[in-house]
Amino acid sequence: MRNLIALLLGGMLTVLLACSLSPSAATPPANSVNTLAAMTVEAALTQAAQGGGPATPAPPTQAGTGTVLPSATAPPTAPPTLPPPTLAVSPTPSPLPCNVAHFITDVTVPDDTVFKPGETFTKTWRLQNVGSCTWQNYSLVFDHGNQMGGPASQPILGAVAPGQQVDISVNLTAPTTPGEYAGYWRLRDNGGVVFGLTTGNPFWVKIKVVEPTATPTATPTPTPNLPPPALLALDFYEQAPNASWSNGNGDSLPFPGAPNDSRGFARYANGTLLEDGHRYPKTLETHPQWVAHGLIRGIYPVISVPANAHFRAKVGFIALSNGSCGGGKVTFALYARWANYPPRLLGHWTKACNGSLLPIDVDLTPLGGHPAIFHLVVDAGDSSGQDWAVWVSPVVETP
């Protein structure tokens, strides 16, 4: 055993001397060498005293620190923590323009009214201020076409606040030569800016001038006492070309669309045979995208909703070529956006092809006096087969 201890001491001293003599190794302090040798001898003596073999060497340490060196195999790293999903934020609605008018009706001289050559008349339009600025010191101005003896400009009396309606009149004279004539007019603000309707177009007067012919005197027919007509605020059929059409993927769709467009399409279907066996003059077809729960959406220009207004329409499907009912089934929906709110659902109606149209009447009283943007939406549901969905005469009007 003494020989074994001597051999261990000799080997350790040889290693220590070799390290101290190596030019590339750092020379440790003398007390570090002595301490290391003493610890090694003590471990060897303990192992020998217990009757065992040579002591198992301790794990390698960094010289001078006593820190255990890392093993070759690195511990597994934890999976990265993913950030929470980002919620979609509804876009901020764009502000209303300052100057924009909405045509309500021809109070006098509807299109193609007949006059004698040189006959004078007064043309009156009913317009609505659907912009954000009050019409104060505004004027009616001639734009193009046949002026018919009218002024180049004429002031609008009073002030018209946003949402209010006003009747604007101008005195005109029919041309002396028979024919068809049209004059186009716009409005001008107090800063000289000229503007027109929500479509960007001017409003007009259209007449026919004919030579008078002798006609027998007719007995006048008593005028029946009829209730006042409904005030039409928005005709979704007439304004369909001015709406923005898209599908559920956000693809922009043209108007009118092609009936074989698998992205969905909107188009006029006047006089088409519907599931109830009738044909209607104002039929708007809105076929959703050809996938399960495909959508089609029409966003209409802003209007000022009159008090006591209602949304009215009939919805259903186009009939098959043999006149029978198809297998279509969709959900029709009406949304509106006003003030700074995102679009709000005003009503939805699930309809299957069953041989009859579904009448819709939505009370818009809460929106009365507010500028609003309406959305027509059709959802294909579980299948887009035979979803030839139609809106018949959809309007916003007063009773």
* Predicted local distance difference test score (pLDDT) of residue 183: 96
Q: Is the pLDDT of residue 71 over 60?
A: no
Q: What is the per-residue DSSP string for 52-121?
A: -SSPPPPPPB-TTT-PBPPPSSPPPPPPPPPPPPPPP-PPPPPPPPSS-EEEEEESSS-TTEEE-TT-EE
Q: Where are the domains of the chain?
A: 2-49, 101-209, 232-397
Instruction: Among 56-60, 133-137, 177-181, name the one with the lowest average pLDDT.
Output: 56-60
Average pLDDT, the chain: 81
Tens of pLDDT along 34-54?
Answer: 444 444 444 443 444 444 444
* Predicted local distance difference test score (pLDDT) of residue 315: 97
* Predicted local distance difference test score (pLDDT) of residue 334: 96
Q: Is the pLDDT of residue 13 over 50?
A: no
Question: What tokens were used for 53?
Answer: 């073999």
How far apart, in whole angstroms, are the C-alpha atoms of residue 397 and residue 399?
7
* Predicted local distance difference test score (pLDDT) of residue 45: 38
CB atoms within 10 A of CB 362: 14
- The more confidently predicted of residues 214 and 210 is 210
- Please give the average per-residue pLDDT across 127-137, as a whole number: 94
The HSE-up count of residue 291 (CA atoms within 13 Å, CB side) is 8
Q: Is the pLDDT of residue 77 over 70?
A: no
**What is the distance, to the nearest Å, from the Cα of residue 190 to the centroid of all Cα atoms in its chain?**
34
Where does 232-397 sit in CATH, by number?
2.60.120.200
Q: Is the pTM of this model over 0.85?
A: no
Q: Are 393 and 310 in contact (CB under 8 A)?
A: no
How far apart, in whole angstroms, are the C-alpha atoms of residue 351 and residue 368?
29
* Predicted local distance difference test score (pLDDT) of residue 31: 47
Query: 101-209 with 232-397: one CATH topology?
Result: no
- Please give the average per-residue pLDDT across 355-364, as a whole number: 95
Q: Is the pLDDT of residue 189 over 90?
A: yes
Instruction: Among 55-59, 131-135, 163-167, 305-309, name the one with the lowest average pLDDT.
Output: 55-59
What is the phi/psi pair of residue 166, to 5°? -150, 140
Decide yes or no: CATH 2.60.40.10 for domain 101-209.
yes
Instruction: Among 202-216, 341-355, 372-386, name the one with the lowest average pLDDT.
Output: 202-216
Tens of pLDDT along 241-256?
Answer: 999 999 999 999 999 9
In the chain, pLDDT over 70 holds for what percent of residues? Answer: 72
In the chain, pLDDT over 90 holds for what percent of residues? Answer: 60
